[in-house]
Amino acid sequence: MATATSAEARPGLSPAAPQADAARSGGPDVSTFTLDNGLQVVVIPDRRAPVVTHMIWYKAGSADETPGVSGIAHFLEHLMFKGTEKHPAGEFSHQVAELGGQENAFTSYDYTSYFQRVAREHLKTVMAFEADRMTGLVLTDDVVDPERDVVLEERRSRVDGDPSSQLGEAVAASLYMNHPYGTPIIGWEHEIEKLDRHDAIAFYDRFYTPNNAILVVAGDVSGDEVREAAQETYGKVARRADPGRRQRPREPEPRAARRVSLSDPRVTQPSVQRSYLAPSYETGEGDRPYALDLLSQILGGGTTSRLYKALVVEKAIAANAGCWYQGDALDDGRFAVYAVPRGEASLAELEVAIDQEIARIAAEGPDAGELQRAKTRLVADTIYAQDSQATLARIYGSSLATGGTIEDVAAWPDRIRAVTAEAVRDAARETLDRRRSVTGELLFAPA
């Protein structure tokens, strides 16, 4: 069933959505066209098996919500499975199952996506169903109110029942003091409780229109086949809104380091994390986002990274350590580091060790060998991503939904290869400034 996800494959509300940062790739002969109603269509040929992945992306996520109705983007995602005038609730899902296909959906900060994977001969069928619910959704209180309880229970189980998720929300809310990325995708509980049919219809009418959507089809199809099917299905859907340019409140330049701490008797493993406000691929200038992707690999990307070797292997004060970079955001994203203590080591010791490694790379930059290894790993990931039809569809969809282009995706490996050691050093100096950060501590507290 539909789920709320983050744009980042990170702790918290986030079961590994699109991997756009580490897997932007040229690969297949991708084509694109736009229907008269404004729907952009992207076709990614993959002839290895007679199947297709069909994804519709709406350029509307939780960061596009009106203040006071947090969670409505994700709530509407749930409600989109409740049926239309033409196809009653459950018919679409039943048809996909009867065809031997798979379906799901996810909501992020910047987009909402619905997808099906079916045999190639059934592509037009799922297109027709999806085009129908783009405009024909039927919502009544009898449908909406019970589903709101489902979302509330989802929040209780995934966030309220998980101290690490609660800390993640607190860190995000402290990092984004003005921007809506500080509000959880699933929404705040007290606001979810008040969501109703009118809120859902208002969001649906505003954003669910073909000129605010991207259709991505990957699989055993040609551009001409997809064009014909898209015109016969989505092409019949009229524009019904003009969402305009996406304008969100800008986050002010951070001036003070912040710290949050959460203690809970359910904590079995303490940890420390720090998030820095960081430019994304959309907001970063020049090669800065590419340098941050490489910095993430060098500093905390696996067991050969600096943080892991220093804290886990050499000092033996951590059971795990690493970092990640959320660059696939429409607005400024995050660069985060984390560590889990080993034995009697304290969180304070971990912080000191983390800061030492950050200071070292900010002063000296990476050496030639580790920079080349990081480039090789990232570019190799783009090759491996091409082995998954669904992953390719997600890469292109998420990139286009957050301001990128097909050309950006194709050029990503070459842009990564061109990054210099000096660029990585400068990215560390300017981004990993404590004044731009929020540090979060997760601690055990006796009941």
Catalytic residues: 77
- Residues 6 or more apart whose CB falls under 8 angstroms from that of 314 comprise none
Q: Dump the DSSP string for 240-277.
A: -----S---PPPPPP-S-EEEEEEETT-SS-EEEEEEE
Cite the beta strand spans of 356-407 per DSSP E.
none
Q: Is 344 helix (H, G, I), strand (E, B) or coil?
A: coil
Q: Which of 224, 42, 219 is nearest to 123 (CA)?
A: 219
- Residues 6 or more apart whose CB falls under 8 angstroms from that of 424 comprise 291, 294, 295, 298, 361, 365, 366, 371
CA distances to 131, 303, 365 from 209, rounded to whole Å, are: 10, 45, 47
117-326-405 Cα angle (round to 5): 60
Cα gap 62→187, rounded to integer Å: 8
